[in-house]
Each structure stands twice: as structure tokens, then as C-alpha cells.
A and B are shown apart, each in its own frame.
Chain A
Amino acid sequence: MRSCRDITGLVSQGMDKQLSLGERLAIGAHVMMCSRCRNFQSQAHFIRTTAQTYLERLQDESEKKS
């Protein structure tokens, strides 16, 4: 059984590359049982959306200034 530390590391990697089937299954089984890792998973994706939105806002604001 992989630890929360390992699982969240895999979750992060999975956001940037294709994981193996075994890794994906390990994540799936773990987050089904573990609400904290489940939260991490959705929050990591939320942070990605937030970062992109932040840049869009920066773009909009700098456009207004100039």
C-alpha cells in the first residue's frame, strides 16, 4: 500500500505526463479511501486553473494600462 506522500507525488506527475496503468489504478484505489489525497487531487487541478486565470487577468490588466 502506497503512502499519501507517494500517492500525491504520483498525482502531481500525472498532471504533466502519462502515468502507467498500475500507477493510475493505485491513485484511484487510494483516493477512493482517502479524503485528504482526494482533496489534494482536486485542489492541484484547481491551482492549475487558477494559475492560468491569473495570467489571463495579468494580460487583461496590462492591456488596460497601456
Chain B
Amino acid sequence: MLLKSAPVTAPSLSEAVLSEHRPVLFRYALLKLRDHELADDAVQETLLAAWQTAAAYQGKAGLRTWLIGILKHKIADHWRHSAREVVTTEFDQLDNPDDEADEDVFFMSNGHWNGGPTTWNDPEAALKQQEFWAIYETCQNNLPPKMAKVFMLRELVGLEASEVCGETGLSDANYWVTMHRARLRLRECLEVRWFNQSKKENNHA
């Protein structure tokens, strides 16, 4: 056995290796807890627990998946101990059947755009405007729960596509469809609520 000759600590789970995942874990925790300090604590506890139980890490799932698993428990502990009522969305639920019709709204039966993306005037400038962020948040919150979860894990937390599938139980094919629909919806929402609002030129649809 390797263990007999190797030093006690597994070199693969050094503090440095664990710390590499800190930013992703922090973003995940921040989205759940919405509080910098709480998120920081949860990540700290997670890394500590991971460090202490490094022997339990089998290396079957990715390291990050394992760490997120621990973090989820820490976050769940937090909710259990806090008096705050939380409405947790159950992401394992089936997709709303209404979602299936999603792309039919955006495309005609021959696959051409129904309406479709107009040209946005200087989108980067929007990022500097406070009002834009309220609109963006609304659009993001308007996504169906599971779609929002998938989108946020990928684009906000920064997980790889395969990791998102592992977290959400989506198949590969469903992942692509879900991400695409999320982009179509967000695009449409931002266009209607922001870019076409601020547009002074005529629309030539």
C-alpha cells in the first residue's frame, strides 16, 4: 500500500490545492446566502472540513464537486440554525411543461426568427448605469427556477458545463437546450425592457 511509505497528509489535498477553489465556492455561497460575511464563513468552514477529512475524498467525483457538496451542507446548517424563514426552491422538480414551448415563441415553424434580435446601441454603456442592473436582475429572476439555477451555476459561479450537469442532474442534451433558452429569454427581456426603451431610432422589424 502506498500509505505505508507516503507521508501522513495526502499531498494532492494541500491547503494550496483547496484554496484554488475558494473563488468558485465563495461565489456559490454568496448567491445562496447573499451576505459577504456569511459566505466567507461558510467557505472557510468548508475548506477546513475538507482539510480535516481529506482522507474521505475518494477522487471519484471532481474535487470541486466534492467541495461544493460540503459547502451545501454548511449552507443548510446555517439555515437550520438561523431563525429566518427561507423559501428554498426545489431544483430537482421537473421542468414546467410551459418551458417546452419556449423556443416556439422565438422562432417560427420553419426555424426563422419570429421578430428576433435587433441591434443594440452601445451595450457596454449600459453596464455603467444603475438602472440597467435592476432590469438585469428582474430578467434573471424571471427565468424559470431550474433554468435560472443552471444559468447561474455556469455564468455566475463559473462551473464547467459538466459540473453543472452533475449539480443539477441534467443530461448533456438538456443542458444545451436549457442554456440556450436562458440566453434567448434574457436577450429578449433585456431588449424589451432596456435596449428598445432607450432606443430613439425607428424599429424596422
Contact = CB atoms under 8 A, between A and B. Distances in A.
Nearest to B37: A66
A54 B137 CA distance: 8
B183 interface: yes
Interface in A15-66: 15-17, 35-37, 39-40, 43-44, 46-55, 57-59, 62-63, 65-66
B127 A3 contact: no
A50 B187 contact: no
B39 interface: yes
A57 B190 CA distance: 18
Contacts of B127: 49-50, 53
Given A16-B154, A47-B186, A55 B27 contact: yes
Nearest to A48: B155
Contacts of B187: 40, 43-44, 47
Q: Is chain B's interface secondary structure helix, strand, loop, or mixed overall?
A: helix
A54 B136 contact: yes
Chain B: number of interface residues, binned into ranges: 35 or more
Nearest to B154: A16
B176 interface: yes
A17 B161 contact: yes
B147 to A, nearest CB: 13
Interface of B: 27, 30-31, 34-37, 39, 103, 106-107, 110-113, 116-120, 123-124, 127, 133, 136-137, 140, 151-152, 154-157, 161, 176, 179-180, 183-184, 186-187, 190-191
Interface of A: 2-6, 8-9, 12-13, 15-17, 35-37, 39-40, 43-44, 46-55, 57-59, 62-63, 65-66
Question: Closest 5 interchain pairs by CB?
Answer: A3-B111, A39-B117, A62-B36, A36-B116, A51-B155
7 contacts: A5-B107, A5-B111, A13-B176, A46-B124, A55-B31, A58-B30, A58-B31
